[in-house]
Chains A and B, each alone.
Chain A
Amino acid sequence: MPTGNDTVIIGIGEYKVGSMPMASIGLGSCVGLVIHDRQTGTGALVHIMLPSSQGKTDRPGKYADTAIDVLIKELTQIGSSPANLIAKIAGGSAMFKTFSGNLNIGDRNVEVIRKLLKDQKIPIKGEDVGGSVGRTIFYYPKENGKLVIKKGDGTLSEL
């Protein structure tokens, strides 16, 4: 895969803003959200784990609500105009069927992210979500915000 040394890996609950290539390894029920500025060729990738922060502020990238707020804030600070922002999402799968716990957490992550993006008037220009497979994603801000997705079933696609 095209992971150069300059690719920044975004772990669970983390985010980065910039124009360097970024990647998230092995998304399961988590969602990789890209907010991309079409004008400047910069953007952000966040690896969201849960839908709601419930007031917590220490890891803004971990929760959909705080993640979207912090991404928009930081992109605006480096000169992005909200009107130029678009979003792409990948992940939110359900890999287990029988264990106890919130097995539909992936769906809930996706649902909440869609709603929050709509509230912020950021259009979703591509998504590859749901199903039961893992995904590794590569985001290239300088190549028109290209998002390459490698899936657990061996397929490769591009948004």
Chain B
Amino acid sequence: MKLTHIQRDALQELGNIGAAHAATTLSTMLSANISMSVPEIKVIDISEIYKYVGDEIAALVLFQVNGEVKHGGYLLLYIPKTSVIRLTNAMLGLTDVNRELDEMDESALLEVGNIMVSAFLDGTAELLNIIMLPSPPQLVIDMPHAAIESIIASQDTEDIDEIVLFKTALVSDAHNIQSSIFLFPNHPMLEDIIRRLEELLNPPA
């Protein structure tokens, strides 16, 4: 699959809007500035996914995207383990950074994930004028590659050879917290999004 320049730009703009909404909510929760990277959009062969997501243990809050878009896709909030502790500490006013992740971190992650991902989808839905809803979140603290390949393998509607990776980094310098939002649109959702974006660019006469 090849994305045209226009499709890539359109997706990038969509991601920008979603990520900006998510960054605003994170900024509010942490009372700190959040910087946001330019979203990366790549079509990746399944055999090369390990070059983009590895096996360093991280917290992943995953959402299936439902709503008007059929077969949806997945949104994923990715936070490296060390950042998780700093995130919980910043939210709850704690200081101990040399501790193991516990239930408190897990609740904080689910909460932050819910808020950020809802904001992301609100932002993109506003632009596309469609409703996209996140499923209840699933938290996995494990190897990111293992989680992502499990998702790809479980799609019974499609036998997937490549994925569209959409990634943007959200960073709080004040608290030294790194995070990324990944979007993996399934094919029907990708096509639907691209069609709607093209209509926005070239409104039917």
Contacts and interface: CB of A to CB of B under 8 A. Distances in A.
Interface of A: 9, 11-14, 25-30, 49-50, 56, 59, 62, 93-103, 105-106, 133-136, 150, 152-154
B50 A25 contact: yes
A93 B151 CA distance: 12
A152 to B, nearest CB: 4
A12 B154 contact: no
B54 A102 contact: no
A29 B143 contact: no
Interface residues of B, number: 34
Nearest to A97: B138
Contact of B144 (A26, A50, A93): A26
Interface in B136-177: 136, 138, 140-156, 159, 161
A64 to B, nearest CB: 12
Given A96-B62, A102-B154, A49 B140 contact: no
13 contacts: A9-B50, A12-B152, A25-B50, A26-B53, A26-B149, A30-B150, A50-B159, A96-B154, A99-B64, A101-B155, A134-B55, A134-B143, A154-B57
Interface of B: 45-50, 53-55, 57, 62, 64, 135-136, 138, 140-156, 159, 161
Nearest to B60: A95
A153 B146 CA distance: 12
Contacts of B135: 98-99
A75 to B, nearest CB: 21
B150 A96 contact: yes
Please list the 8 inter-chain residue pairs (A to B) with the smallest Cβ-Cβ separation, ordered nearest first: A134-B146, A26-B145, A134-B143, A11-B47, A28-B146, A28-B150, A101-B154, A152-B142
Contacts of B138: 96-99
Given A13-B47, A96-B138, A27 B146 contact: yes
A27 B153 contact: no
A77 B133 CA distance: 53
Contact of B55 (A62, A93, A106, A136): A136
A95 B147 contact: yes
A136 B146 CA distance: 9
Contacts of B155: 101-102
A49 to B, nearest CB: 5
A49 B146 contact: no
B137 to A, nearest CB: 10
Nearest to A106: B150
